[in-house]
Chain A
Amino acid sequence: MLPAAACLALLGGCAGGLEGEAELAFTNAGEVASLDPAAITGVPEGKLARFLHEGLVIKHPRTLEPLPGIAESWTIRPDGLVYRFVLRADARWSNGERITAQDFVYSFERLLSPRTAAEYAYQLWYVRGGQRYTSETDAQGNPRHAFETVGIRALSERELEIELEAPTPFFLDILGSVPLMPVHRGTIERMQKLHPDSWRVEWLKPENLVTSGPYVLAQRRIQDRVRLKKNPNYWDRSRIAFETVDVLAVEHLNTMLNLYLTGASVWCDNLPTHALAKLKGRADFQPAPYLGVGFYRFNTTRPPLDDKRVRRALALCIDRAVICEKILAAGESPAWSFVPPAARGHVPVELLHAAAAEDNRAAARALLAESGLSLPALEILFATQTINKDVAEVIADGWRRELGFSAKLSNQEARVALDSQKNLRYDVARSSWVGDHPDALGFLEIFRSDSVNNRTGWKHARYDECIDRARRALEPERSALLREAETILMDEAPIAPIWFFVTKNLVSPQLGGFHENALDEHFPQFWHWKDQGGGRR
């Protein structure tokens, strides 16, 4: 019969899979947006990019200390403004060509260029002339200034010099981040000639892509997997332990968990909240402090939130212990400062509070009484997720009991919620901030009056001044300025910090070279199977 025949015919075309299984497989949250380092913004993209590309530095898996990557050594001028890198002689692209300083100049220019419209171009705005190069364009969208005005120069084939606007102690960390990883100029230009319409997608195809990292792109099927093969020309190829790696794109959280628990994946970092309680105490689940903070923003342009006593009262009245232990339940710690303790070399300044919750509540009530204002039914805005709602409920409940007003809960789809915050259409909003690099400035500068990430309408002249001066200062003045800024922030309380993030990775105990760290960045150069030894660091 007809249906039966059709069935058989289709079954024949069934086996459209890839050849064989990879040595190592792990899940990623959905299909990555891009493999191009300049186009990458998200965590899943970063995970994959660290397999394909390598920058001037790589980071220690535990301490995140910058270690030599493509650059074998570097010197920094005492004023902290000029960095000189010496590249390895044996650093090669996956097609055998040598990686030169000119490659880095090209890649950095590409990152800064307004034509590329790279979202992380601002990472290079620490370089002299960088911001101007990106922002000032002519009518056709080309940069108005020549790239020679930007402080990036190739002194020779193996020497690269970068001049900064101001001393930036975390610049080496930035150089190890994904957007600053180099791309192969020859491939891009060849594709531009061959496919003038579609070169943007052509150069990233497996048959064309040339990479600098430990792996090359072997095959890719959208929404299914990215298959990587060991890069035979990588400078440290003897250390690379896996021949093939599969990065599986999975949308559904439960499916990711199931794949890990049935052994099909060795690493799962997106865990459904209902599973967290069951995973506690397992050897393969060891949450560690993560450089992120969850907090509530106050719209300081709306009375009575324009009075800092009201804001501080609201901030004091949040039951952080219950939120961290009962709702988040993965080992998060209560946050009384904005900058997490994991930030390098910074002593956090905390919101003035007592040790006992009851004292805090009393202080809150006193502050509110002192301000003489009464609170209307404020609306708590959050992106639609159960955990956000649960947190909001606890907080609203606490505010109702202690401060005597009923807060309303309002959830919006993530993008719409973001839009609302941008346009200051909210009262109180749930928000979070994760650091790109382990320095306090990255956290504190978002509350500068003109920062797009401010989104509270809060302005403070002295705070801006502290931040501006800290950007150009050297130690120990820098730390003092940052502490002063954080003191102002905690005193004015345009935000109420609630909890510090932890990493949530389920990792197979067999995988060596994988360590929890504060940025949750994992460099596969160090990975190996534990029972086979290997790994020198």
Chain B
Amino acid sequence: MAEDAVAQRGVGVLALDFFSNFIFAFSEAIRPDNLLFCFLGVVIGTLVGVLPGLGPVATISILLPTTFTIKPEQSLIMLAGIYYGAQYGGSTTSILLNLPGEAASVITCVDGYQMARQGRAGPALGIAAFGSCIAGTVSVVITMLIAPPLALFALQFGPPEYFSLMFLGLTVLTFLASGPMIRALMMACVGIFLGMIGTDVVSGLERFTYGSYTLMDGLGLVPVIMGLFGISEVLVNIEQTMKQEIYKTTLSHLFPSRQDWKDSIMAIVRGTFLGFFLGILPGGGAIISSFAAYAVEKKISRHPEKFGHGAIEGVAAPESANNSAAQGAFIPLLCLGIPSNVVMAILLGGLLIQGVKPGPLLMNDNPALFWGVIGSMYVGNLILLGLNLPLIGLWVQMLKVPYPILFPIILIVCIIGCYSLNYSLVEAAVMCLFGVVGYLLKKLEYEGAPLILAFVLSPMLENALRQSLIMSQGSFSIFFTRPISLIFILLAFMLLLSPVIPGFRKKPQISS
């Protein structure tokens, strides 16, 4: 049906749609209020990307409650800005300190820091910023091109397809987890359980509430996320003494030379496309994309021996890929209503709290939000380019804020943010409790990401499962007889069985 619709409309109409969407997206993005929140988002994002020990997940969790007082469109524009802004900012610490500001910049350390040691910190920072901007821009255009047909296609999805897709998303995330897959699956189970606490929407029965009024509405998304990612990160950091030393190098020649461009332009192009498509995949995201882009560059390079010793392609490719992926990840969220990674899961939770249900109909029901966010990404990329290059000196100064002064501020923001949601001290205490749980999980090498994704998806997953079984009169064959669902299920089972399939055992691993 959806393919017919696309075919009937023809390429010309789609092109016209593209330009009208393009203009609408930009008219929304440059509205003064949206522009302000976009600016705020990318500035905060760059800052958290620069500051080691405070990643985008923790920051978005911390700031989520404060965005409930503004319009959903502006809230999403700001939070999206934080996410892709952090990808930009993360490169600064990777290059100057050999310390990734956030996980997606880990691989940039390898060649970026070597370039800094050779006195080429300027071109490294420059190519990271330009590469990120180019990747961000291209990925916005691809998003505009593929989002409408994908949303049309997603209209074919019924409960079995949604269940299978969510199942696949959870499986991919557990497959890519940094620890053993079995532990990631355990965390997904815990997340599903936590998501079921509260009143059952079908029967109206209370589950696992034990008479608590706070639990009747279910465990709050914000306390759980802020605890698991915000508070626990602070607890892990204060346990270690963080000493950071900025490599003394000249920060001149931020504009890469002609040779630098020649060496890195194809790496940027490849990183952009690879990052974008890995960003769309359930369970994918900026981290895996940056590693994959680096691996591809090293593999196809005529001089692989230069990698690890200051190859500019080793900075250009992952930095382009992580930005591209950060923006590509919005496609499944906005078009299907399915988060592809933990940041998107948090954003989905935030949107649901504000009464916005992302999915195939979002484009029609709330065009200002859908196109406004996409347009703002392009504007945000330009702001970031303007921010990153001239203000690198300022960002370096920010690195000198001692963590013992920073962490109490983060803790207080977390508590105020959580309390301000429902003016509940119980929720603030729940957040602290989950902070301790998150700390223990990190220390015992259980990943929090599958838990959060499962926690957010749990109500949708349960509804889709129950509706599917009602549709099929209790037969699980419904997941295998519908083609789209069958493809998702087969992919998920391939990944689940991969540890026992010879030759498939070496999985790519990412760190949360």
A binds B: no
Residues of A that sit less than 8 Å from B by CB: none
Residues of B that sit less than 8 Å from A by CB: none
